[in-house]
Structure 1
């Protein structure tokens, strides 16, 4: 047996993200699974990235000094000599997320960063930035893979399908992994690695058809359905002791989503489509999820980075126990690097994976991950109810990319008007007209 002693080089595009330090800890702790020789950060916001980068430099020096580390705003420096690119960008940062959430709420429409008009606005901003990162990667490291988890994933994936169809880009989301970790807890298992599953849908818009014990093959759906019927995905106890109140409400609301379609188990984001009036009624149009993040997570993360830099040590940091988001990405990189053909979810052109959906629409389905990318696993037919919802939603996502490609006001208006969260075309137009000026630095001019 030939010994594989390769070590890999990665760049995090969006190095200033508040998720980055936790990701670095997970990468370091997984060196037996995904050994690294180099980590680089790339961000267009030098000041923000420096706050994160200086703390991460100390973490890496203490925990894995053999790994070379740097951060930069120069694309050539960032993307040269890398094997993997991790896409973790937020175009317009939290200022624009706040608009995505609050403008729709002015008109009694869901204010959420990846669903409804806010999600479509975010997606339209993200397209050119993701395309640019792909182009940097292909210019400076043409053999690299990009693992993108920058939202709005469904819209970004459709743009990749159209504009960079041959690029080595895999678009992923960890929300189903978070929910499956909860499923494992409900069933007395350790984490998502202990589950086998069939899941299908769109990004932030899907359902589990099957969940089984990975080792024994036991059907876990009856137990999960009974639990979700009563509790949603909320676990409680030590598992949820640090879960924010808005997420507690989300996990509990899953029981109402399950009640509407009890043959499957829903992604938590279905609450925004099944119960939009409830979501609006329970939202504060002046204090949304963005404000919670700015008041809590962002302050905590930058405060901890400052503490580490001033102390000169990362001992007893706040990220050592936070693993789910980053562990999933390490799993995927391992599968690609070592050609293991493990099963994870990806957002890809359907091409028959869901047999009664169009081939060219982007779906989120299980795939086998290996050195040649992803190979989708057939999921059979979508139920009549799910297919109807999916056709409406995927058409909205395609219309957003039409709007980008054609600089079309009409296509973006249609996307808003068609969306299940929006009551009629006049409301859609008012939201769009308010969004255009604040998005002027990022959107194409819509005519």
Structure 2
């Protein structure tokens, strides 16, 4: 089994340490010869890197080499896989996005509505440049992109790199939801076989089977409605915001019982309720800054100071395991089933062929092999078409530098649906994102 050279781009991320634990957990299935951290923020990267050095010495002695750098050539030359998780503008800009939206009485959220638009417009430029840099030094490396908002980023990358068949956009939200399904069903999450359709953060599970072919869908729906629904992944299980989100998913199922919803649909189906629950002085970004970010930074500092990770608060999370297992399937042609983002091309015949849809695929050494979904019902088709139009207009606005298309995009978005609010929030976001957005 070939050992891989893995690069983590955006290694200053608060998710990096969980991913490193996942690499250790999966080292027999996804053996590595070298891990390289790459980030443009040298100081932020260094904390994670120094803690990882200690962690790998203790728990991954088989690894030939670990290093960290801000040099593109050193990072990407000879890479087999690049995991990408960048955040242009950092959590500080996320907080501004959310506060600006809430100021106008609109959902303040990282990937949905105005926040998703703002983050997407910041991400596109850096993601395009990053892919160009990777391809300059490693034309055949697999690029697995986690960067949010994945729907907007995936559309932009598909336009810029239409023939790059080793660039894949993936999201861990479906598998994070499936962990909760597995807990209710008393099954292992990796034994579940989902059927799913939609856009990123905008989709539905239509069936949940196990590997023996047993259909658990109706039993699962009844369990959620009768006993409740809560997050089970270790990264979010104790997070009050995520607990409320999973409670709202139960209400979505009660209101629309045909399919099991992605949790992010709450922002589009109940936007006024979502606004009422938010506090501009304590946004979700602020909670992450004072919660997960502080916890991860404190853990890294503890490991560095003690010179050991033995007593550190580290755990394997689904973000990392999902990414690593997807890489395994691609590297060794395992043809395992994952929900990923691919170009539609008839998968859902009553949606546009160029839509970047999120559906089950077998991941092989030739790339994702999607399952056909078939035509979807009118209600879901209508919701998706509106969201898809919003996403495409945001990407259009980036390439065309068109403020008018931004206004059109937010007017279509279900979190806004108001021209005056769309105009006002766009003006504030343009001012806040000077230097990050195109010049409109």
Q: Does 1:49 align with 2:49?
A: no
Partner Cα distance (1:42, 1:312) in 2: 23
Structure 1 segment 120-139 matched on structure 2, within 5 A? 120-139=117-136
In the alignment, which residue of structure 1 is the partner of 2:275? 280
Q: 2:307 aligns with which of 312, 323, 334?
A: 312
Q: State the Cα deviation string for residues 165-190 of structure 1 (Å, max 9, x = none).
A: 12221000000000111101100112
In the alignment, which residue of structure 1 is the partner of 2:239? 244
In the alignment, which residue of structure 1 is the partner of 2:229? 233
Structure 1 segment 76-155 matched on structure 2, within 5 A? 76-155=73-152
Partner Cα distance (1:370, 1:241) in 2: 30
In the alignment, which residue of structure 1 is the partner of 2:295? 300
Partner Cα distance (1:156, 1:180) in 2: 24
Select between 310-319 and 14-23 the one with higher mean Cα deviation: 310-319
CA-CA distance at 1:423 after TM superposition: 3.5
Q: 2:170 aligns with which of 169, 172, 194?
A: 172
Q: 1:365 aligns with which of 359, 365, 371?
A: 359
- Secondary structure at the counterpart of residue 443 of structure 1: coil
Q: State the Cα deviation string for residues 94-132 of structure 1 (Å, max 9, x = none).
A: 011001211110011000000011001101111111111
C-alpha spacing 1:386/1:231, structure 2 compared with 1 (3 Å): farther
CA-CA distance at 1:393 after TM superposition: 0.2
In the alignment, which residue of structure 2 is the partner of 1:10? 6
- Secondary structure at the counterpart of residue 286 of structure 1: helix
CA-CA distance at 1:239 after TM superposition: 7.5
Is the 8 Å Cα contact of residues 231 and 243 (structure 2) preserved in structure 1?
Answer: no
Q: Does 1:291 align with 2:289?
A: no
C-alpha spacing 1:423/1:179, structure 2 compared with 1 (3 Å): same
In the alignment, which residue of structure 2 is the partner of 1:394? 388
- Secondary structure at the counterpart of residue 363 of structure 1: strand
Partner Cα distance (1:75, 1:416) in 2: 36
- Number of residue-to-residue matches in the alignment: 438
Structure 1 segment 31-70 matched on structure 2, within 5 A? 31-67=27-63, 68-70=65-67
Partner Cα distance (1:71, 1:283) in 2: 38
Structure 1 segment 319-358 matched on structure 2, within 5 A? 319-320=314-315, 322-358=316-352
Q: State the Cα deviation string for residues 268-311 of structure 1 (Å, max 9, x = none).
A: 01100110000011111221111111111111111111111111
C-alpha spacing 1:404/1:379, structure 2 compared with 1 (3 Å): same
CA-CA distance at 1:241 after TM superposition: 9.5
CA-CA distance at 1:229 after TM superposition: 2.2
In the alignment, which residue of structure 2 is the partner of 1:411? 405
Partner Cα distance (1:402, 1:294) in 2: 32
CA-CA distance at 1:222 after TM superposition: 1.1
Is the 8 Å Cα contact of residues 228 and 254 (structure 1) preserved in structure 2?
Answer: no
Is the 8 Å Cα contact of residues 343 and 366 (structure 1) preserved in structure 2?
Answer: yes
Partner Cα distance (2:291, 2:177) in 1: 23
Is the 8 Å Cα contact of residues 179 and 233 (structure 1) preserved in structure 2?
Answer: no
Is the 8 Å Cα contact of residues 108 and 280 (structure 1) preserved in structure 2?
Answer: yes
CA-CA distance at 1:232 after TM superposition: 4.7
- Secondary structure at the counterpart of residue 317 of structure 1: coil
Report the TM-score when normalising by structure 1: 0.96
User: Which structure 1 residue ranges, 5 or more long, are not aligned?
Assistant: none
Is the 8 Å Cα contact of residues 186 and 235 (structure 1) preserved in structure 2?
Answer: no
User: Which structure 2 residue ranges, 5 or more long, are not aligned?
Assistant: none
Structure 1 segment 430-441 matched on structure 2, within 5 A? 430-441=424-435
Q: Does 1:269 align with 2:267?
A: no
Report the TM-score when normalising by structure 2: 0.97
In the alignment, which residue of structure 2 is the partner of 1:71? 68
CA-CA distance at 1:65 after TM superposition: 2.6
